[in-house]
Structure 1
Amino acid sequence: MMNMGFIITKASLRDLNAILKLEQVCFTKDAWTFLDVAGTLIASDIIRYKAAYGEELAGFAAAEIRKSEQTGWIITLGVFPQYRKQGIGSALLKACEKALLPLKIRLCVSTKNHEAIHLYKNIGYREVGIWPSYYADHCDAIVMEKNEQESISDAL
Protein backbone atom coordinates (compact mmCIF):
# COMPACT_ATOMS: atom_id res chain seq x y z
CA MET A 1 0.00 0.00 0.00
CA MET A 2 1.49 3.36 -1.00
CA ASN A 3 0.36 6.86 -0.01
CA MET A 4 2.03 10.24 -0.51
CA GLY A 5 5.54 8.80 -0.70
CA PHE A 6 5.37 6.36 2.19
CA ILE A 7 4.77 2.64 1.86
CA ILE A 8 2.80 0.43 4.27
CA THR A 9 4.17 -3.12 4.48
CA LYS A 10 4.30 -5.91 7.02
CA ALA A 11 6.81 -5.31 9.79
CA SER A 12 9.37 -7.97 10.66
CA LEU A 13 12.16 -8.69 13.10
CA ARG A 14 14.46 -6.67 10.82
CA ASP A 15 12.56 -3.58 12.05
CA LEU A 16 13.25 -4.26 15.74
CA ASN A 17 15.76 -1.47 16.45
CA ALA A 18 13.80 1.18 14.58
CA ILE A 19 10.57 0.21 16.39
CA LEU A 20 12.34 0.30 19.76
CA LYS A 21 13.46 3.85 18.96
CA LEU A 22 9.92 4.75 17.86
CA GLU A 23 8.50 3.39 21.13
CA GLN A 24 10.92 5.53 23.15
CA VAL A 25 10.14 8.67 21.16
CA CYS A 26 6.36 8.21 21.15
CA PHE A 27 5.64 6.59 24.50
CA THR A 28 8.66 7.36 26.80
CA LYS A 29 7.64 5.87 30.19
CA ASP A 30 5.15 3.47 28.59
CA ALA A 31 7.44 2.35 25.78
CA TRP A 32 7.52 -1.34 25.08
CA THR A 33 10.64 -3.23 26.13
CA PHE A 34 12.94 -5.18 23.84
CA LEU A 35 11.04 -8.37 24.69
CA ASP A 36 7.64 -6.73 24.04
CA VAL A 37 8.67 -5.54 20.59
CA ALA A 38 10.55 -8.72 19.67
CA GLY A 39 7.60 -10.85 20.78
CA THR A 40 5.20 -8.74 18.72
CA LEU A 41 7.39 -9.08 15.66
CA ILE A 42 7.73 -12.87 15.84
CA ALA A 43 4.34 -13.97 17.19
CA SER A 44 2.36 -15.65 14.43
CA ASP A 45 -0.98 -14.31 15.68
CA ILE A 46 -0.04 -10.61 15.75
CA ILE A 47 -0.90 -8.31 12.86
CA ARG A 48 1.89 -5.79 12.29
CA TYR A 49 2.49 -3.05 9.76
CA LYS A 50 5.10 -0.41 9.27
CA ALA A 51 5.14 2.80 7.29
CA ALA A 52 8.43 3.70 5.65
CA TYR A 53 9.95 6.32 3.43
CA GLY A 54 12.51 4.28 1.54
CA GLU A 55 14.43 2.38 4.20
CA GLU A 56 13.49 4.75 7.04
CA LEU A 57 10.75 3.75 9.47
CA ALA A 58 8.09 6.44 9.86
CA GLY A 59 5.50 4.54 11.90
CA PHE A 60 4.38 1.19 13.27
CA ALA A 61 1.10 -0.42 14.29
CA ALA A 62 0.20 -3.83 15.65
CA ALA A 63 -3.09 -5.56 16.40
CA GLU A 64 -4.33 -8.81 17.84
CA ILE A 65 -7.53 -10.81 17.87
CA ARG A 66 -8.93 -11.60 21.29
CA LYS A 67 -11.13 -14.58 20.45
CA SER A 68 -12.71 -14.71 23.92
CA GLU A 69 -14.03 -11.18 23.34
CA GLN A 70 -14.66 -11.55 19.59
CA THR A 71 -12.75 -8.29 19.30
CA GLY A 72 -9.73 -7.00 17.46
CA TRP A 73 -7.43 -4.74 19.47
CA ILE A 74 -5.02 -2.19 18.09
CA ILE A 75 -2.23 -2.78 20.61
CA THR A 76 0.16 -0.07 19.48
CA LEU A 77 0.27 2.73 16.94
CA GLY A 78 3.07 5.26 16.74
CA VAL A 79 4.44 7.70 14.18
CA PHE A 80 7.70 9.60 14.54
CA PRO A 81 6.95 13.32 15.14
CA GLN A 82 8.61 14.44 11.90
CA TYR A 83 6.23 12.22 9.90
CA ARG A 84 2.97 13.18 11.59
CA LYS A 85 0.10 14.92 9.79
CA GLN A 86 0.88 13.06 6.55
CA GLY A 87 -1.79 10.35 6.82
CA ILE A 88 0.57 7.68 8.16
CA GLY A 89 -1.34 7.02 11.38
CA SER A 90 -4.61 6.71 9.45
CA ALA A 91 -3.04 4.41 6.85
CA LEU A 92 -1.54 2.13 9.51
CA LEU A 93 -4.81 2.03 11.41
CA LYS A 94 -6.81 1.18 8.29
CA ALA A 95 -4.35 -1.58 7.34
CA CYS A 96 -4.85 -3.16 10.77
CA GLU A 97 -8.63 -2.71 10.58
CA LYS A 98 -8.77 -4.44 7.22
CA ALA A 99 -6.86 -7.42 8.65
CA LEU A 100 -9.24 -7.57 11.65
CA LEU A 101 -12.51 -7.55 9.71
CA PRO A 102 -15.29 -8.43 10.47
CA LEU A 103 -14.59 -7.97 14.19
CA LYS A 104 -15.42 -4.94 16.27
CA ILE A 105 -12.16 -3.12 16.88
CA ARG A 106 -10.94 -1.50 20.08
CA LEU A 107 -7.94 0.48 21.21
CA CYS A 108 -6.93 2.53 24.20
CA VAL A 109 -5.37 5.98 24.23
CA SER A 110 -4.14 8.34 26.93
CA THR A 111 -6.55 11.10 27.85
CA LYS A 112 -3.57 13.44 27.33
CA ASN A 113 -3.01 12.35 23.71
CA HIS A 114 -5.40 14.81 22.05
CA GLU A 115 -3.85 14.36 18.60
CA ALA A 116 -4.50 10.60 18.63
CA ILE A 117 -7.98 10.98 20.10
CA HIS A 118 -8.83 13.39 17.27
CA LEU A 119 -7.47 10.92 14.69
CA TYR A 120 -9.47 8.02 16.10
CA LYS A 121 -12.71 10.03 16.30
CA ASN A 122 -12.26 11.18 12.69
CA ILE A 123 -11.91 7.56 11.57
CA GLY A 124 -15.10 6.53 13.37
CA TYR A 125 -14.02 5.40 16.83
CA ARG A 126 -16.13 6.33 19.82
CA GLU A 127 -15.45 6.25 23.54
CA VAL A 128 -16.79 3.15 25.29
CA GLY A 129 -14.94 3.24 28.61
CA ILE A 130 -12.16 4.50 30.81
CA TRP A 131 -9.34 2.52 32.42
CA PRO A 132 -8.26 4.59 35.44
CA SER A 133 -4.53 5.18 35.99
CA TYR A 134 -3.64 2.84 33.12
CA TYR A 135 -0.40 4.53 32.09
CA ALA A 136 2.89 4.84 33.99
CA ASP A 137 2.15 8.50 34.77
CA HIS A 138 -1.22 7.40 36.23
CA CYS A 139 -3.09 9.00 33.36
CA ASP A 140 -6.39 7.35 32.42
CA ALA A 141 -6.84 5.45 29.17
CA ILE A 142 -9.87 6.03 27.00
CA VAL A 143 -11.13 2.77 25.49
CA MET A 144 -12.44 3.46 21.98
CA GLU A 145 -14.35 1.18 19.64
CA LYS A 146 -15.32 0.99 16.02
CA ASN A 147 -18.04 -1.46 15.10
CA GLU A 148 -18.02 -3.87 12.14
CA GLN A 149 -20.22 -1.77 9.87
CA GLU A 150 -18.03 1.33 10.29
CA SER A 151 -14.90 -0.75 9.69
CA ILE A 152 -16.32 -2.46 6.63
CA SER A 153 -17.44 0.80 5.00
CA ASP A 154 -14.04 2.41 5.65
CA ALA A 155 -12.18 -0.60 4.23
CA LEU A 156 -14.09 -0.56 0.94
Structure 2
Amino acid sequence: MAERVMPGGTEHGRAQGHSPTEAGVVIRHARLRDLAELGELQRSCFRPGQAYGLITLLVLHLWPRAQMLVARCGGRIAGCVVGDVTRDQGRILNLCVDPDFRRQGIGAMLLAAAEDLLDANDIALMVEDKNIGAQELYRRSGYLAVGDLRNYYGKNRHGILMQKRRGIPQPPRSSETSP
Protein backbone atom coordinates (compact mmCIF):
# COMPACT_ATOMS: atom_id res chain seq x y z
CA MET A 1 0.00 0.00 0.00
CA ALA A 2 1.45 3.33 -1.00
CA GLU A 3 0.96 6.37 1.16
CA ARG A 4 -2.21 8.13 0.29
CA VAL A 5 -3.60 11.45 1.40
CA MET A 6 -7.22 11.07 2.32
CA PRO A 7 -9.69 13.91 2.15
CA GLY A 8 -10.65 15.33 5.52
CA GLY A 9 -13.44 14.33 7.81
CA THR A 10 -16.03 16.57 9.39
CA GLU A 11 -15.42 20.01 10.83
CA HIS A 12 -16.91 19.25 14.26
CA GLY A 13 -14.77 17.65 16.90
CA ARG A 14 -11.65 19.61 15.99
CA ALA A 15 -9.02 19.35 18.67
CA GLN A 16 -6.01 21.52 19.32
CA GLY A 17 -6.09 23.02 15.83
CA HIS A 18 -5.72 19.66 14.08
CA SER A 19 -8.29 18.79 11.48
CA PRO A 20 -8.08 16.35 8.59
CA THR A 21 -9.78 19.00 6.46
CA GLU A 22 -6.85 21.38 7.06
CA ALA A 23 -3.83 19.10 6.98
CA GLY A 24 -4.99 15.97 5.16
CA VAL A 25 -4.67 12.50 6.57
CA VAL A 26 -1.95 10.21 5.27
CA ILE A 27 -2.72 6.51 5.72
CA ARG A 28 0.21 4.15 5.25
CA HIS A 29 1.71 0.95 6.57
CA ALA A 30 3.28 1.34 9.99
CA ARG A 31 7.06 1.56 10.06
CA LEU A 32 9.40 0.23 12.70
CA ARG A 33 10.17 3.76 13.83
CA ASP A 34 6.42 4.32 14.49
CA LEU A 35 6.17 1.67 17.19
CA ALA A 36 7.12 3.83 20.20
CA GLU A 37 4.54 6.45 19.21
CA LEU A 38 2.00 3.66 18.61
CA GLY A 39 2.66 2.38 22.14
CA GLU A 40 1.83 5.84 23.49
CA LEU A 41 -1.30 5.95 21.34
CA GLN A 42 -2.40 2.55 22.66
CA ARG A 43 -1.97 3.73 26.26
CA SER A 44 -4.02 6.87 25.57
CA CYS A 45 -6.86 4.86 24.01
CA PHE A 46 -7.15 1.70 26.10
CA ARG A 47 -7.18 0.68 29.75
CA PRO A 48 -4.10 -0.99 31.22
CA GLY A 49 -4.10 -4.62 30.18
CA GLN A 50 -5.92 -3.85 26.93
CA ALA A 51 -3.37 -1.55 25.32
CA TYR A 52 -0.81 -3.23 23.10
CA GLY A 53 2.72 -2.86 24.44
CA LEU A 54 5.87 -2.45 22.39
CA ILE A 55 6.58 -6.19 22.19
CA THR A 56 3.07 -6.96 20.93
CA LEU A 57 3.31 -4.11 18.42
CA LEU A 58 6.67 -5.40 17.22
CA VAL A 59 5.33 -8.95 16.80
CA LEU A 60 2.32 -7.67 14.84
CA HIS A 61 4.55 -5.43 12.73
CA LEU A 62 6.75 -8.40 11.79
CA TRP A 63 3.91 -10.93 11.40
CA PRO A 64 3.51 -11.57 7.64
CA ARG A 65 -0.29 -12.00 7.75
CA ALA A 66 -0.93 -8.82 9.74
CA GLN A 67 -1.67 -5.44 8.24
CA MET A 68 -0.76 -2.51 10.49
CA LEU A 69 -1.74 0.90 9.20
CA VAL A 70 -1.32 4.35 10.69
CA ALA A 71 -3.07 7.62 9.99
CA ARG A 72 -0.82 10.67 10.24
CA CYS A 73 -2.25 14.14 10.56
CA GLY A 74 -0.46 17.33 11.46
CA GLY A 75 2.86 15.55 11.98
CA ARG A 76 1.42 13.08 14.50
CA ILE A 77 0.06 9.57 14.40
CA ALA A 78 -3.65 10.19 14.79
CA GLY A 79 -4.75 6.55 14.67
CA CYS A 80 -3.88 2.95 13.97
CA VAL A 81 -5.58 -0.21 12.78
CA VAL A 82 -4.34 -3.80 12.84
CA GLY A 83 -6.00 -6.58 10.88
CA ASP A 84 -5.23 -10.05 9.62
CA VAL A 85 -6.71 -12.95 7.68
CA THR A 86 -7.02 -16.50 8.94
CA ARG A 87 -8.38 -18.98 6.40
CA ASP A 88 -10.96 -16.80 4.63
CA GLN A 89 -11.96 -14.79 7.71
CA GLY A 90 -10.62 -11.26 8.07
CA ARG A 91 -10.24 -9.79 11.53
CA ILE A 92 -9.85 -6.26 12.79
CA LEU A 93 -7.71 -6.89 15.85
CA ASN A 94 -7.29 -3.31 17.01
CA LEU A 95 -8.48 0.13 15.96
CA CYS A 96 -7.71 3.27 17.91
CA VAL A 97 -7.78 7.00 17.30
CA ASP A 98 -5.97 9.55 19.44
CA PRO A 99 -8.52 11.35 21.66
CA ASP A 100 -7.42 14.67 20.10
CA PHE A 101 -8.45 13.43 16.64
CA ARG A 102 -11.72 11.61 17.35
CA ARG A 103 -15.03 12.38 15.61
CA GLN A 104 -13.22 13.58 12.49
CA GLY A 105 -13.62 10.50 10.28
CA ILE A 106 -10.15 9.05 10.89
CA GLY A 107 -11.46 5.81 12.39
CA ALA A 108 -13.68 5.25 9.35
CA MET A 109 -10.75 5.98 7.00
CA LEU A 110 -8.52 3.51 8.82
CA LEU A 111 -11.22 0.84 8.89
CA ALA A 112 -11.90 1.22 5.15
CA ALA A 113 -8.17 1.10 4.33
CA ALA A 114 -7.73 -2.08 6.39
CA GLU A 115 -10.77 -3.70 4.78
CA ASP A 116 -9.28 -2.95 1.35
CA LEU A 117 -6.16 -4.92 2.29
CA LEU A 118 -7.91 -7.91 3.89
CA ASP A 119 -8.68 -10.44 1.17
CA ALA A 120 -11.50 -12.28 2.91
CA ASN A 121 -15.22 -12.96 2.47
CA ASP A 122 -16.10 -11.75 5.94
CA ILE A 123 -14.44 -9.49 8.48
CA ALA A 124 -15.03 -9.84 12.22
CA LEU A 125 -14.11 -7.72 15.20
CA MET A 126 -14.76 -7.44 18.92
CA VAL A 127 -15.93 -4.27 20.64
CA GLU A 128 -16.66 -3.59 24.28
CA ASP A 129 -20.39 -3.36 24.98
CA LYS A 130 -19.94 0.04 26.64
CA ASN A 131 -18.02 1.52 23.68
CA ILE A 132 -21.07 2.98 21.94
CA GLY A 133 -19.06 5.31 19.68
CA ALA A 134 -17.06 2.43 18.22
CA GLN A 135 -20.20 0.32 17.78
CA GLU A 136 -21.81 3.16 15.82
CA LEU A 137 -18.72 3.49 13.60
CA TYR A 138 -18.79 -0.23 12.85
CA ARG A 139 -22.54 -0.23 12.13
CA ARG A 140 -22.15 2.71 9.73
CA SER A 141 -19.41 0.69 8.02
CA GLY A 142 -21.69 -2.31 7.51
CA TYR A 143 -20.93 -4.46 10.56
CA LEU A 144 -23.70 -6.30 12.40
CA ALA A 145 -23.66 -7.63 15.96
CA VAL A 146 -23.64 -11.43 15.74
CA GLY A 147 -22.76 -12.52 19.27
CA ASP A 148 -21.91 -11.57 22.82
CA LEU A 149 -18.99 -12.74 24.93
CA ARG A 150 -19.49 -12.21 28.64
CA ASN A 151 -16.47 -10.95 30.57
CA TYR A 152 -14.36 -10.85 27.37
CA TYR A 153 -12.64 -7.63 28.49
CA GLY A 154 -12.58 -8.56 32.18
CA LYS A 155 -15.10 -8.99 34.96
CA ASN A 156 -18.42 -7.37 33.99
CA ARG A 157 -16.85 -5.97 30.80
CA HIS A 158 -18.55 -7.78 27.95
CA GLY A 159 -17.65 -8.00 24.29
CA ILE A 160 -19.83 -7.83 21.22
CA LEU A 161 -18.75 -9.82 18.17
CA MET A 162 -19.49 -7.87 15.00
CA GLN A 163 -19.17 -9.10 11.45
CA LYS A 164 -19.27 -7.65 7.97
CA ARG A 165 -20.23 -10.04 5.17
CA ARG A 166 -18.65 -8.97 1.91
CA GLY A 167 -19.28 -12.03 -0.26
CA ILE A 168 -16.03 -11.76 -2.18
CA PRO A 169 -16.01 -14.72 -4.58
CA GLN A 170 -13.18 -17.10 -3.84
CA PRO A 171 -11.18 -18.72 -6.65
CA PRO A 172 -11.97 -22.41 -7.13
CA ARG A 173 -9.72 -24.87 -5.36
CA SER A 174 -7.31 -26.72 -7.63
CA SER A 175 -9.23 -29.99 -7.18
CA GLU A 176 -12.43 -28.27 -8.37
CA THR A 177 -10.82 -27.07 -11.60
CA SER A 178 -9.49 -30.48 -12.65
CA PRO A 179 -11.51 -32.28 -15.36
TM-score using structure 1 length: 0.89
Aligned 1:128-143 pairs, distance under 5 A: 128-136=146-154, 138-143=156-161
Contact 1:128 1:144 in 2 (8 A): yes
Q: 2:166 aligns with which of 127, 143, 148?
A: 148
Q: For residue 16 of structure 1, what is the aligned residue in structure 2?
A: 35
1:28 match: secondary structure: coil
**How many aligned positions are there?**
149
Secondary structure (helix, strand or coil) at the match of 1:128 reads strand
- In the alignment, structure 2 segments of 5+ residues that lack a partner are 9-23, 170-179
Task: Report the Cα distance in structure 1 between the residues aligned to 2:29 and 2:59, rounded to whole angstroms.
Answer: 15
Residue 131 of structure 1 contacts residue 141 of structure 1 at CA under 8 Å; is this kept in 2?
Answer: yes
Counterpart amino acid of residue 112 in structure 1: K
Q: Could you tell me how far apart the structure 1 residues matched to 2:118 and 2:107 are? A: 17
Percentage identity across aligned positions? 32
Give the aligned partner of residue 5 of structure 2: 2
Amino acid in the other structure paired with 1:82? D
For residue 130 of structure 1, give the secondary structure of its aligned residue in structure 2: strand
Asked if 1:123 corresponds to 2:123, the answer is no
2:104 counterpart of 1:86: yes
CA distance, structure 1, for counterparts of residue 158 and residue 136 of structure 2: 16
Alignment equivalent of 2:117, drawn from 86, 90, 99: 99
Bigger radius of gyration:
2
Gaps of at least 5 residues in structure 1 are none
2:86 maps to 1:66 = yes
CA RMSD of aligned residues (A): 1.6
Q: In structure 1, what is the Cα distance between the partners aligned to 2:155 and 2:75?
A: 33
Aligned-residue offset at 1:14: 1.1
Q: Which sits farther off after the overlay, 110-119 or 4-13? A: 4-13
Q: Which residue number corresponds to residue 34 of structure 1?
A: 54
Verify the 8 A CA contact 1:12 1:42 in the aligned structure 2.
no
Which has more helix, going by share of residues? 1
Could you tell me which amino acid in structure 1 is paired with residue 160 of structure 2? Answer: I
Q: Deviations over 1:44-82 (max 9, x none)?
A: 211111000143100000101111xx2000000000011
Instruction: Indicate if the aligned counterparts of 1:105 and 1:145 stay in contact, CA closer than 8 A.
Output: yes
The AA in structure 2 aligned to 1:80 is D
Within the alignment, does 1:51 sit opposite 2:54 as a pair?
Answer: no
Report if the CA contact (8 A) 2:85-2:119 is conserved.
no
2:47 is paired with a residue whose SS is helix
- Structure 1 distance, partners of 2:84, 2:117, is 10
Q: Secondary structure at the match of 2:52?
A: coil
